[in-house]
Chains A and B, each alone.
Chain A
Amino acid sequence: MQLTKEQQLMLNGESGEAARQSMEILCALGKIYGAKDMVPITSAQVAGVSYKTIGEAGLEYLQDFARAGARVRIPTFLNPAGMDREQWEKLRVPAAFAKKQLAILSAFSKMGISSTCTCTPYLVGIRPKLGEHIAWSESSAISFANSVLGARTNREGGPSALAAAVCGCTPNYGLHLDENRVANLLVQVETPLKGMSDFGALGAYVGEASKGKVPAFLGVKSASEDKLKSLGASMAAWGSTAIYFMKGITPEWKVEDGAEEIKFGAKELAQMREKMAGEGKPDIIAIGCPHASLDEIREVAEKVKGKKLGCQLWVCTARKTKEAADKAGFTVAIEAAGGNVVADTCMVVCPLEEMGITHAACNSGKAAKYLTNMFKRKVVYGDVEDIILCK
């Protein structure tokens, strides 16, 4: 690989052991994927934050790495952690888990990483522009950045995103290159998509059908950012889609000649919803996968105002969004109905099983996939108004 003088010095250890090891990781990945050189990046987002995910092994690694002098060079956010840093006791997170989680966050903080734990960095301060190179590692954030914003990131793992943050660059391959940002699966959407849960179902259907191909959607007349965020998250969870295009909506649109075509009509929508949805009274209604925008929190607050919920309700979001919701009075309204606005974490990465929860309702295709796997039971699935007063 062609390294700049500065990158070569890092690899030689002139910027310390942590930077040396980071550059060794980036060079190894560059070799594996056939990159010719490194590309400078403007931000990183590091996954592998929840103690539930990385365990003792990950915690020890991060502590060692911080001790070895690891410091990030560019703005870096974290993926959701295993709990809300401020409300964990109230939300009944086991104390032993909380202690480990706080140790993980403290190690990241020593490296100069922002304590913002979210899958929506683009809603709370890091919003890359068209053509900007970044190294992100949460699957829905990757999809949103590549597709909706037109920024460029591969699907990074926790350690590779961290290494990129320490070195300020990433190997130049995959979705950093024009030639790979081309769709080879045309999806004709032939049915109106109503709420968030329809976009989640479309994402689940195409995620499963895509088998690694890059989808391009035709026939969607309009879609809010919240719906695109839900669509991308669902496709990444049900397939492993890191980029998609939508005619007239996404900033990029490039489709290969002779791309395979599939259709998504009323029949496919109904079948997918049937496949995703279960029944029964949930222990928890989980909203905010990916993390809720202020608009989504407002919607929940309006729907529950003056009512009493029949089960727990979590609206998961980034801390900065929660602070805005606090100011706007949405948090109080949700709490008065018996729900919580939860920051820093989400239903997918916190230890729900250890908290006695065995059945959930959600409006997200991604959460539906993971919670169904976690509980070995299909979730109750629908839009906020369908599930919020679950009986």
Chain B
Amino acid sequence: MKKGTKAREGVVQGRAISRGVAEGEAMVSKDAISFFGGVDPKTGIIIDKGHALEGKCISGKVLIFPRGKGSTVGSYVLLQLAKNNRAPVAIINEEAEPIIAVGAIIARIPMVDKLERNAYSRIKGGMRISVDGTSGTAGIKE
């Protein structure tokens, strides 16, 4: 990475899934997430036994995970989290599937997927990440 172009180079194109803009600290899960039964809608804590993020609170984070899984009711759980102010501020998936995509849209959580230049795997927990779900980009500050 050349000096002076760092901020610009940190912006990566992906696909726009759910519109809106947000920024926050990355929380990265290597496992897929089932929101129905896997996340407590009141607290935002992952309750899935044996999950990589078990016991961690996803509220206010930019949540980075490969994809959704489990019941389609998971879409509604994302909405409940948002209503309780316990939702992640943005979502980046490796590759979106309908449960998380629909959930993010109805909960108004900005979401992108399929980031170019292998950016998904470069994101580490604690990095500042911005997501623009309208243009389909993510800003990564390493």
**A interface list, Cβ under 8 A from B:** 21, 24-25, 28-29, 31-32, 48, 53-58, 60-61, 64-65, 157-160
Contacts and interface: CB of A to CB of B under 8 A. Distances in A.
Given A21-B106, A24-B19, 9 more contacts: A25-B101, A29-B98, A48-B73, A55-B73, A58-B73, A60-B80, A61-B106, A157-B98, A157-B102
B15 to A, nearest CB: 6
Contacts of A60: 76, 79-80, 83
Which are the 5 A-B pairs with shortest beta-carbon distances?
A57-B76, A57-B80, A157-B72, A28-B101, A58-B76
Contacts of A29: 98, 101-102
B75 interface: yes
Contacts of A54: 73, 76
B15 A31 contact: yes
Contacts of A160: 98, 102
A24 B98 contact: no
Nearest to B77: A57
B105 interface: yes
Given A57-B80, A60-B80, A60-B83, A31 B17 contact: yes
B73 A28 contact: no
Contact of A28 (B76, B83, B105): B105
Interface of A is mostly: helix
A160 B77 CA distance: 16
Contacts of B72: 48, 157-159
A165 to B, nearest CB: 14
Interface string B17-53: 1110000000000000000000001000000000000
Interface string B81-107: 001000000000000111101100110
Contacts of A61: 76, 79, 106
A87 B131 CA distance: 50
Contacts of A159: 72, 75, 102, 106
Contacts of B83: 60
A57 B96 contact: no
A61 B79 CA distance: 7
A158 B98 CA distance: 11
Contacts of A158: 72
Contacts of A58: 73, 76
B98 A57 contact: no
Contact of B97 (A32, A55, A56): A32
Interface string B63-77: 000000000110111
Given A29-B98, A32-B98, A160-B98, A24 B75 contact: no
A291 to B, nearest CB: 22
B105 A21 contact: yes
A342 to B, nearest CB: 24
Contacts of B99: 157
A28 B15 CA distance: 9
A57 B102 CA distance: 14
25 contacts: A21-B105, A24-B19, A25-B101, A25-B102, A28-B96, A28-B101, A29-B101, A31-B15, A31-B96, A32-B17, A32-B96, A32-B101, A48-B73, A53-B73, A55-B73, A55-B76, A57-B76, A57-B77, A60-B76, A60-B79, A60-B80, A64-B79, A157-B102, A159-B72, A159-B75
Contact of A57 (B15, B17, B73, B105): B73
Given A48-B73, A159-B75, A24 B80 contact: no
Interface in B100-130: 101-102, 105-106
A13 to B, nearest CB: 11
Contacts of A53: 73
Contacts of A56: 80
Contacts of A57: 41, 73, 76-77, 79-80
A58 B41 CA distance: 12
A131 to B, nearest CB: 25
A211 B136 CA distance: 34
Nearest to A157: B72
A24 B96 CA distance: 14
A158 B83 CA distance: 20
A32 B77 CA distance: 21
- Counting chain B CB atoms within 10 Å of each CB, which of A56, A64, A157 scores highest? A157
Nearest to B97: A32
Nearest to B80: A57
B16 to A, nearest CB: 8
B105 to A, nearest CB: 5
B102 A28 contact: yes
Nearest to B103: A159
Contacts of A65: 106
Nearest to A11: B19
A66 B39 CA distance: 26
